[in-house]
Amino acid sequence: MSQHDYNIANATFPNVRTDLNNALGAIATNNSGDSAPSTTYANQFWYETDTNKLYIRNEDNDAWIHILTLNQTNDTVASVEGASTFAGIDDQSSSNDDQITITDSAVIINEDSDDLDTRIESNGNANMLFVDGGNDHINIGTATDLGGVLNVAGTAVIQTADNSDTLSLISTDADATSGPNLRLFRNSSSPADGDDIGKIIFSAENDASEEIDYITIRGDLTDVTDGTEDGVLKIAGLIGGAVKEFARFGDGVGVVFNEESNAANDFRIESDALSHAFFLDGGTDHISIGNSSTSLYTLDIKQNSDFTGSSSDTANEAPLRVWSTHSNGRGAIAIGGNNNNGIFNKGTSDLVIQGYNAITFDCSQTNDDKFGTKTERFAISNVGKLSTGAETDPDIDPGGITLDQNAGDGYIKTFKSSDIAHGFTGLAETDSFATFGKASGTDGGLTIQGFHEGQGFGLQLIAHCKTAGFTNSNSTGYGHLDFIARGSNGSTGDAALEDNENCMSVRNGGNVKFIVKGDGDLFADGTLSAYDTYEDAQLVRAFDLSHGKGVIDSTFDKYVKYNHETLANANLVGREEDGTPNHFINVTGMQRLHNGAIWQQYEKTERLTQAMYELAKVAVGEEKANEILKQNEIKLLN
């Protein structure tokens, strides 16, 4: 009898084994105990020893479900929770059983799912409620299947005493097809053009306690001919006590507002700041944008606040009017034309937006060049390709953009922020935090610069991957941040670099300090001081002892005279801001240290070999000593 939290913590092997045995014991005894386990999991068993009850944890892991109770004295099952039922009521006419089943929580009819109908009669209807057991549908007022799971013959009223949803139609289907669906079917044997085929009525009482139909949504037939059917949807309501149509929608009529030409039926669209962002005055036959008064113009466009013109100059109330008295539209807006498909604006600068095959934004330095030669600055092709600099063949997909600076050598793109002032004004404007430009004015390449006012983060590259990264350490072990260098294949394509070609370099200013070769070899600037003043092997051992990971104790460790501070002084490890040594490793320094340690040990071994040879000559004679050297394939350096 035991319980466990099923969390095996890191520990010594004996402790882990004990923890595992305890967990297995808890599993084997169904987490038995006189109280519930403190740590629970969905679908976990628990045997309560003081009550002899067996429980299982629910799927939500927030309650225990009682399954059964055991009789430990008689070694039997005392009871199964919720299993007791009354005996079924059998009609004795067939082998079917359990027509009615009564439990503590339910009364069930046709428990065995037989082809058995259920019917409840009212005073005047033999099928007031009818359940068709064979066809799986329910009828109210009829025994006939009308086409649904629930069929009602007659009217239905659903009433609620509060503001909750009176009727909800819910579909749990997960595909892209529409649902739930509400269908109004006019099943007429003689349909005709002009028939009303359904109506939704919004009714309420007036102050005289009369029920009034205030708003209606109605469907009409306009053409019932097979193959050319048309229909229309109409929305109408009360205006001044009389029913007026607001809008209609349908094939043949399109979308029509105020079909009955009611002068009081205006059309208005409101924005966040404007009550009349768009306004059609039904009484004056005018349209206004940004203005509620439309008495002067057929179309009036006005900005949010008035100009400061004289009160008699009503034209100044509209900052933009679309109108022209010139035959060719010059001086205003020209749209279309055989040679000029676009918009032209007369002013101190000339703006052209041309369409048809493309839209171009051109610029001229004179204000009288309406239709003459212009310099293209920006273009959008008819398939959605964006380009600058009069680029004629942007190598992008629709929606992409090509920036063409022609023969310019400056930055092709910069990023600015008004709260930045880095001071590198000899390289970029002080509020530019990034620039993109050519690495070479004539050969190309890309130079990206980042500017930062403070320490670090002048340029960051951050890669985000949704799933866990690759863990394989081979030629396909791609990292979250992947750098690729390619050369020419001798034709128009690219190819991998040769083994001895420089794949990547890191420079400090103009001097290269680190190189990655095409075959993966790493080269670092080795013009740093050596560690001749130290016992190199002891420095190596001092580093291992400083982090203590995977280090096997040695009886000679007590003779190591260096520590973590010595490693930092030798610039083999880094320091924190407060000067405390940390475990950031100087990789190139460690490489030189290992090389030095190997040579120091080689020198000591040679000196030891020479000493042992001299000792052997004294002990056994030079001839025997030479024989020992030969047998062990040892050659003295001198």
Q: How far apart are CA 83 and CA 187, in angstroms?
A: 50
* Complete DSSP assignment for 217-259: EEEEEEE--TTS-EEEEEEEEEETTEEEEEEEEETTTEEEE-T
pLDDT of residue 347: 44
What torsion do the CA atoms of 541, 547, 549, 550 make, to the nearest 10 degrees? 10
Residue with tokens 């493309």: 358
pLDDT of residue 339: 52
Q: How far apart are CA 458 and CA 622, in angstroms?
A: 70
pLDDT tens-digit readout, 17-74 = 998 898 888 888 999 999 999 999 999 999 999 999 999 999 999 999 998 899 989 8
3-class SS at 149?
coil
pLDDT tens-digit readout, 583-600 = 777 777 777 777 777 877
Residue 589 burial by Cβ neighbours in a 10 Å radius (0-12, 13-18, 19+): buried
Q: Which residue has the higher pLDDT, 242 or 93?
A: 242
pLDDT band at 331 (very low <50, low <70, confident <90, very high): very low
Q: How far apart are CA 97 and CA 39, in angstroms?
A: 46
Strands 299-301 and 286-289: parallel
Q: Which residue has the higher pLDDT, 1 or 581?
A: 581
pLDDT tens-digit readout, 397-438 = 999 999 999 999 999 999 999 999 999 999 999 999 999 999
Q: Which residue has the higher pLDDT, 374 or 224?
A: 224
pLDDT of residue 42: 93
pLDDT of residue 416: 95
| 3-state percent breakdown (helix, strand, coil) of the chain, nearest 5 | 15, 30, 60
Q: Phi and psi dihedrals of 375, rounded to 5? A: -100, 120
CA-based nearest residue to 231, from 288, 186, 271 = 186
CA-based nearest residue to 317, from 339, 340, 292 = 292
Distances (CA, A) of 6 to 60, 62, 166: 19, 18, 50
436's enclosing H/E stretch is: strand 432-440
What torsion do the CA atoms of 520, 526, 532, 538 make, to the nearest 10 degrees? -30
- Check pLDDT > 80 for residue 534: no
Lowest mean pLDDT among 84-93, 310-319, 474-483, 585-594: 84-93
Q: How far apart are CA 115 and CA 161, in angstroms?
A: 39
- Check pLDDT > 80 for residue 117: yes
Round the average pLDDT of the chain to a whole number and report it.
81
Phi-psi region of 46 (alpha: psi -120 to 50; beta: other; left: phi over 0): beta
Residue with tokens 């420089």: 502
Q: Which residue has the higher pLDDT, 461 or 543?
A: 461
Q: How far apart are CA 44 and CA 57, in angstroms?
A: 5
> Across the strands, what pairs with 540?
none
- Check pLDDT > 60 for residue 328: no
- C-alpha count within 13 angstroms, C-beta hemisphere, residue 398: 5
Distances (CA, A) of 320 to 137, 363, 614: 65, 22, 110
pLDDT of residue 448: 93
Q: How many helices (H) and strands (E) does the chain have?
A: 5, 35
- Check pLDDT > 80 for residue 166: yes
What is the mean predicted confidence (pLDDT) over 232-252?
87
Which amino acid would we find at residue 117? D
What is the mean predicted confidence (pLDDT) over 359-382?
69
> Cβ–Cβ contacts within 10 Å for residue 319, how many?
14
pLDDT band at 495 (very low <50, low <70, confident <90, very high): very high
> Across the strands, what pairs with 254?
250
- What would the two tokens of residue 43 be? 């679908």
pLDDT tens-digit readout, 70-107 = 998 988 887 777 544 434 454 434 455 567 776 667 77
Tell me if 276 sits within 8 A of 291, measured CB to CB: yes
pLDDT of residue 40: 92
CA 106 to chain CA mean position, Å: 47
Q: Which residue has the higher pLDDT, 354 or 563?
A: 563
pLDDT tens-digit readout, 188-201 = 999 999 899 999 99
pLDDT band at 606 (very low <50, low <70, confident <90, very high): confident
pLDDT tens-digit readout, 140-161 = 999 898 888 999 998 889 899 9
What is the mean predicted confidence (pLDDT) over 226-244?
90
pLDDT of residue 564: 79
3-state SS, 392-427, equals CCCCCCCCCEECCCCCCCCEEEEEECCCCCCCCCCC
What is the mean predicted confidence (pLDDT) over 261-279?
86
CA-based nearest residue to 360, from 327, 391, 323 = 391
For 141-189, list the strands marked E by DSSP: 150-152
Q: Taking CA 487 as the corner, what is the angle to CA 481 and CA 492, rounded to the nearest 5 degrees?
A: 120
Global confidence as pTM: 0.42
Q: Which residue has the higher pLDDT, 240 or 452?
A: 452
Q: How far apart are CA 513 and CA 339, in angstroms?
A: 61
